Amino acid sequence: MQLSINSYLRAVAPLGRESDHIGPFVATCSPTTDNPYLNYAIPDDRAAPTRDEIQALVDWYLSRSRKPRLEYVTSESPAVEPALLGADFAIEGRLPVMVWDRDAPATPPPDGIEFVVPMSDEDLFGLMEVTAEAYDSPPPAAYDVKLTRWSLGHGTGAVVARDEATGKVVAAGTFPPIVEGVTEIAAIGVALAHRRRGVGQALARRLAEEACARGASRPFLMAAHEPEARIYLRAGFVVVGEILHISR
């Protein structure tokens, strides 16, 4: 499963980004933002990079005014981490990789919340709005709805949580195109006023269910911190390994 996740990352990370194969690395670069989570490389499986290959990767990112950075499942490329540490890289974090268990028992959804696949412009704008709030990003503009709708029409999936009383989107999440049965549940965000009510937990499960309905057999996610990991465990996800975030 971990090998499948690394292969998946190499397949989807270049989508919408500049990419190149630099030595044993697939390097990706967003042309519009220096957000580190949208600019990173993934090593080939069983990669054993030389110092010159690492320097070539560093030069590729610096020439684009981006931080040299990688995200990958450590167990499939064990020689990469020590090589990077020897080339002045520093570990940002180790995130648990969690895969959804279809047989995990469901818990009651939070009262007053409905979960739907966004279709209307209002729901799509709400998706972007709540994501921007959750991740402290710039607020969306009206024209961003077209870009989001295009993405959803080309393989991306999404689910939003709406307050039944107001119809307002209060939480949202997405998953990229499915590749060989694998997709990543990502960008889960809950509006501040609706946190600690089980909305994020229910949303994670609903996203996994939607991904499976579209052909995924192994939806996975990465938990940024221990509190999030506990939420996803309750949603039916199980830890199968770790993803290393490392940069220079």
Residue 246 gets the label, from left (phi > 0), alpha (psi -120 to 50) or beta, of beta
What is the predicted pLDDT for the residue at 99?
Answer: 95
What is the side-by-side order of every strand in the sheet holding 186-190? Answer: 113-116, 157-163, 169-175, 186-190
Residue whose token pair is 């990112």: 61
Question: What does DSSP assign to residue 109?
Answer: P
Indicate the pairing of strand 69-73 with strand 182-184.
unpaired
The three-state secondary structure class of 54 is helix
CA distance 156 to 127: 13
CA distance 133 to 192: 8
Residue whose token pair is 């949603």: 235
What is the predicted pLDDT for the residue at 2?
Answer: 56
* Structure tokens belonging to residue 225: 């911190």
Domains of the chain with bracketed CATH: 2-88 (no CATH), 113-241 (3.40.630.30)
CA distance 7 to 131: 27
* Structure tokens belonging to residue 21: 């194969």
Tens digit of pLDDT per residue, the chain (248 long)? 555 888 999 999 998 899 999 999 999 999 988 989 889 999 999 999 999 999 999 999 999 999 999 999 999 899 999 999 999 999 999 999 999 999 998 888 899 999 999 999 999 999 999 999 988 888 898 888 998 999 999 999 999 999 999 999 999 999 999 999 999 999 899 999 999 999 999 999 999 999 999 999 989 999 888 888 999 999 999 999 899 999 99
CA dihedral 235, 238, 243, 245 (to 10 degrees): 30
CA distance 55 to 152: 37
What is the predicted pLDDT for the residue at 1?
Answer: 59
> Distances in Å between the alpha carbon of 12 and those of 3, 19, 37, 155?
15, 11, 13, 11
CA distance 158 to 116: 9
